[in-house]
Amino acid sequence: MAVNAEQRGPSGEGMWQRESRARHFRERAIKIVLAACAYVSVLTTFGIVFVLLFETVNFFREVSIVEFFTSTTWSAAFANPQFGILVLASGTLLTTLIAIAVALPVGLLAAIFLSEYASPGLRRWLKPALEILAGVPTIVYGYFALTFVTPLLRETILPSMTIFNALSAGLVMGVMIIPTIASVSEDAIHAVPRSLREGAYALGATKRETATRIVLPAALSGIVAATILGISRAVGETMIVAVAAGNLAQLTANPLESVQTMTAFIVQVASGDTPTGSLTYNTIFAVGSTLFVMTLILNIVSYVFVRRFREAY
C-alpha cells in the first residue's frame, strides 16, 4: 500500500496542483476584473470632482469669487460680463418652489391613498402606473409645458403671463416629481408598525385621524427625506426649464415671467459654439459646481433622514 501510494503520489499530486494553480489564478484574475468594475463608480466621482474643480479654479482666476456670490446681475454672454450666481439660483429656487408646491401635497396624499386606502389589487397597478410619470423623457414634459400648459393658462386665468414663464415649467416639473415623493413617502408610511394604527382605532380614532395624526407623524422623517429628494430632482432638472421657462437671467419672484435656472444656462451655452478654455466655457463648470454642491448636500440630508426612519422601528 505504502509503495503504491508512493508510486502514484507524484503524478497525481502534480496534476492536482497544476489544475488547482490554474483555477486559483483564474479565480483571482476574475475577482480583480470584477473589483475594477466596482471601482469605475469611484473613478466617476473623482472624475466629476476633478473636472468641476479644475475648470472652476480657472474661472475664478478671471472672476472674483465675491462678485460670483454677491452680484445681482448675470450677463455671461455680453461684452462686459457680470457673474452673479444669485440670479440663476433664484430662477432655480422659483421653479423648484412651484414644483414642490405641486408635488408635495399631491405626492403625500397619493402615498396615503396607496398605503392606507387602496385595495391590494388597485395598489398593484397604480404604483407602476405612477412610475411611468417618472420615466417620461423630460424633453417631452418641456414640450407639454410650452405648447399645452402655457397656452391653457394664458387663455383661461392668466392672460398677462409671458410665453416663457417659471409657472408652467414649475407646474409640469411638479407632476414629474410626484412619483418620487409618493414612492419614498409610501415606503415610510408602510414601515409604520400596524400596532400604532390598531392602537389609534382602539381609542376610537377614524381612518383619517389615524392616517394624519398617528401614521404621518410616525413616518415624518421618511416624508422629509422624500421631499428633499424631490427638491434635489427639481434643482437638477434641465430640459423642462430650458424649453418652457425662457432663458432670461433676471432676479425676480414673479412666476409669470421668464427666468433662467442654473441648468438652463449650461444648456444654453452648450447649445452654442463655445471654444474650449474660454471664459464662457469655464462659466458652465462654475455653475455646474454650484449645482453639484447643492444637490450633494440635499442628497446627503435626505440619506440621513431615510436611515432614521429605517432604524426607528
Partner 1 sequence: MATKSGAQKNARKGEPEGEGVFKTSVSARHALDRVFSVLVFVAAMIGLVVLAVLLVDIARDGLPRLSWAFITSFPSVIPQNSGIYPALLGSLWLLGLTAILSVPLGIGAAVYLEEYAPDNWLTRLIEVNISNLAGVPSIIYGLLGLGIFVNLLGGITGGQSIVSGALTLSLLILPVIIIATREALRTIPGAVREGGYALGATRWEVIRSHLLPMALPGALTGTILALSRAIGETAPLIVVGAATYITFAPDSPLSSYSALPIQIYSWVSQPQPAFQLAAAAGIVVLMVVLLLTNSVAIWLRNKYQRRG
Which residue type does 208 have?
A: R
Interface with partner 1 (CB under 8 A), residue from 1, 132, 157, 202: 132
Are the C-beta atoms of 185 and 222 separated by less than 8 Å? yes
Q: What mask, x for binding partner 1 by CB under 8 A, covers residues 265 to 284?
A: -xx--xx----x-------x
Is 156 one of the binding residues for partner 1 (CB under 8 A)?
no
Between CA 291 and CA 244 the distance in angstroms is 20
Is 170 one of the binding residues for partner 1 (CB under 8 A)?
no
For partner 1, the binding residues in 204-233 under the rule CB under 8 A are: 206-209, 211-212, 229, 232
Which residue stretch of 7-15, 83-91, 202-210, 252-260 sits at the interface with partner 1 (rule: CB under 8 A)?
202-210
- DSSP character at residue 194: H
For partner 1, the binding residues in 68-87 under the rule CB under 8 A are: none
Is 119 one of the binding residues for partner 1 (CB under 8 A)?
no
Interface with partner 1 (CB under 8 A), residue from 3, 5, 42, 202: 42
Interface with partner 1 (CB under 8 A), residue from 9, 16, 18, 34: 34
C-alpha cell recorded at residue 186:
409610501
Q: Closest approach of Cβ 175 to partner 1, in Å? A: 5
Interface with partner 1 (CB under 8 A), residue from 263, 283, 305, 309: 263
Task: Give a three-class secondary structure readout of 90-151.
Answer: HHHHHHHHHHHHHHHHHHHHHHHHHHHHCCHHHHHHHHHHHHHHHHCCHHHHHHHHHHHHHH
C-alpha cell recorded at residue 305:
433622514
Between CA 241 and CA 169 the distance in angstroms is 6
Q: Closest approach of Cβ 139 to partner 1, in Å? A: 5
Is 309 one of the binding residues for partner 1 (CB under 8 A)?
no
- Specify the residue, 65 or 129, whose C-beta has the smaller distance to partner 1: 129
User: For partner 1, how many residues bind (rule: CB under 8 A)?
Assistant: 90
Are the C-beta atoms of 112 and 211 separated by less than 8 Å? yes
Q: Closest approach of Cβ 313 to partner 1, in Å? A: 22
Is 178 one of the binding residues for partner 1 (CB under 8 A)?
yes
Give backbone dihedrals phi and psi of 83, rounded to 5 degrees, phi first.
-120, 90
Which residue stretch of 27-35, 58-66, 67-75, 79-87 sits at the interface with partner 1 (rule: CB under 8 A)?
27-35
Are the C-beta atoms of 76 and 274 separated by less than 8 Å? no
Between CA 92 and CA 301 the distance in angstroms is 19
